Structure 1
Amino acid sequence: MNRIRHTALAMLCLVCLCVSVQAQKQTVKFLSTYDNQQLHFGFLLGINSANFIVKTSPDIASLDSVLSVEPYAQSGFSLGIVSDLRMNQHMNLRFLPTLSFAERGLTYRVRSTKQNAIIEQKKNVESTFLMFPFNVKYRAARLNNYRVYLVAGATYMLDLASQEGADQNLKPEEIFVRIHKSDLLFEVGMGIDFYLEFFKFTPEIKMGFGIPDLLVHEDQIYSQAIRVLRSKMVMFTFYFE
């Protein structure tokens, strides 16, 4: 996750540097009336780093096998549609239906009676999300052919790969962590609009934090070790509008 975040920030800094150099010599304004449109559309492509926020059970010390639980992040990608409604000179309302492929997991430190040792077990969670973000975009004044902005909002997510109702009559090593199908994220981020000759190009970085507890609580050690399980996601997105 840190690698994705550092790469995204480095790319954003590079973009900002290019913009500052370009702003000093740019004289022709592309798409000069673009921001006057009441409604416009586009598409998006992005990469993401999905993870969990874990709060372990206060009773974890009393469990026979599980000693600790740590989340780990994996990278994925997204594609979607942009619909943008102009509210006033500086604010826009955006609806961004997106299909996102994500992966994350949990690492358990478990006491093994067979091996008489402490071992690590990874429980991977793969997800295919239908995401429905509603974001408010607050834009600074345009400078030549770029415009910096902040964005915040909420996203409802439906996990098409959720195994919420799956059978758990399995061997201990095959038992998996089940999560609920629906999720809700609070999002905050920033980006830069670049006005090119024929379209607007926008790189954006955004953080999403899950609100509800995702875990399906059940009578097995991997679930009992966790009190609350929430989503966390870093998204680096390119918009073409």
Structure 2
Amino acid sequence: MHTTYIRHQLYIYCSKVTLAILLLLLMGYHEGHAQVDGTLNLPHFDEQRLHYGFMIGMHTAHYRLEYDDDFVTPNYDTLHSVVPPNNIGFKVGFIVDYHINDLLDVRLSPTFSFNQLQLNYRYSNGEIKEDLQDPTYVELPLLLKYKSIRRMNRRMYFLAGLNPAFKAVSSQDKENKSEKLLTKGFNLSLDIGVGMDLYQPLFKFSPELRYSYGLLNVLDDQENSYSAPLRNLTIHSLSFFITFEGGPSTFSKKGKKQRKR
């Protein structure tokens, strides 16, 4: 119990630090943009086929559940309900962006997702039994990025695609299987997002909001007292990212021609 408490506190602390970093980055962008307003930054950035970068973000995640048909039988007359609260987590990842044309890109962004997923089992006598876990997922979202026409140093975009995720399983997860909710090691979600590319003198900075809709039932085939009242369990999350992408050479085409001479 003491170890779980320490991990819980560390998790909350990291989330607060990440939020503070995001706020500082937003403030830095506002000041930097005010100084270079009217200047076209990275004019040939989007002409490069491949872009690379990284991203950090925070998210809220929760389970969406369906009760098993047996839930309404006398076997569960003392269990009032199962409630999935939202919990905060954070993500870090890399970006590989392939340029198809001026309006469309394909993006692969391997991501480490640190979650807190919880179910509260509420009983008719007022007792609440809590199942709180902090799984780490390795996500490999493959997304299509549809971009608007660039207006000076801003460009809106929309994202959509599939996001397969693999749970990192520790030795502790393999023990005491009867004392916690068991979930599968693989998940698949539909990701939809919106963001804005903000072109800086040396890089591209993009705030992004993304929703992940779980498509697979993550309940493990091995049943115990935690999973017995449930028939279907999916994971849903809402994420806010800050992304940074490096671009091609900042030399203009004209400058390149002069160098060749």
Pick aligned residue for 1:98 from 100, 111, 134 = 111
**Would you say 1:131 and 2:134 are equivalent positions?**
no
Residue identity in the other structure for 1:195: Y
Whether the aligned pair in 1 keeps the contact of 2:182 and 2:222 (CA below 8 Å) is no
1:155–1:36 Cα change, 3 Å:
same
Any idea what the Cα deviations from partners look like across 1:47-79, whole Å, max 9, x if unmatched? Answer: 111111111112212223422111112111111
Q: Which moved more, 1:218-227 or 1:30-39?
A: 218-227
Residue identity in the other structure for 2:204: K
Residue identity in the other structure for 2:118: G
RMSD (Å) for aligned C-alpha atoms: 2.5
Q: Which moved more, 1:186-195 or 1:50-59?
A: 50-59
Measured after TM superposition, the shift of residue 223 of structure 1 is 1.0
Between the aligned partners of 1:168 and 1:104, the Cα distance in structure 2 is: 17
Report how many aligned residue pairs link the two structures. 216
Map 1:181-200 → 2, pairs under 5 A: 181-200=185-204
Map 1:1-241 → 2, pairs under 5 A: 26-62=37-73, 63-64=75-76, 65-111=78-124, 117-161=125-169, 165-169=174-178, 175-241=179-245
Measured after TM superposition, the shift of residue 44 of structure 1 is 0.6
Measured after TM superposition, the shift of residue 217 of structure 1 is 4.2
Name stretches of at least 5 consecutive residues in structure 2 with no aligned partner. Answer: 1-18, 246-261
Task: Output the TM-score relative to the length of structure 1.
Answer: 0.82
Measured after TM superposition, the shift of residue 164 of structure 1 is 7.1
Between the aligned partners of 1:28 and 1:71, the Cα distance in structure 2 is: 49
Between the aligned partners of 1:218 and 1:28, the Cα distance in structure 2 is: 60
Name stretches of at least 5 consecutive residues in structure 1 with no aligned partner. Answer: 1-6, 112-116, 170-174
Measured after TM superposition, the shift of residue 195 of structure 1 is 0.3
Q: Which moved more, 1:214-223 or 1:69-78?
A: 214-223
Residue identity in the other structure for 1:87: I
Q: Which has the larger radius of gyration?
A: 2
Task: Output the TM-score relative to the length of structure 2.
Answer: 0.76
Residue identity in the other structure for 2:166: L
- Report % sequence identity: 27
User: What is the DSSP-based 3-state SS (H/G/I as helix, E as strand, rest coil) of the residue aligned with 2:202?
Assistant: coil
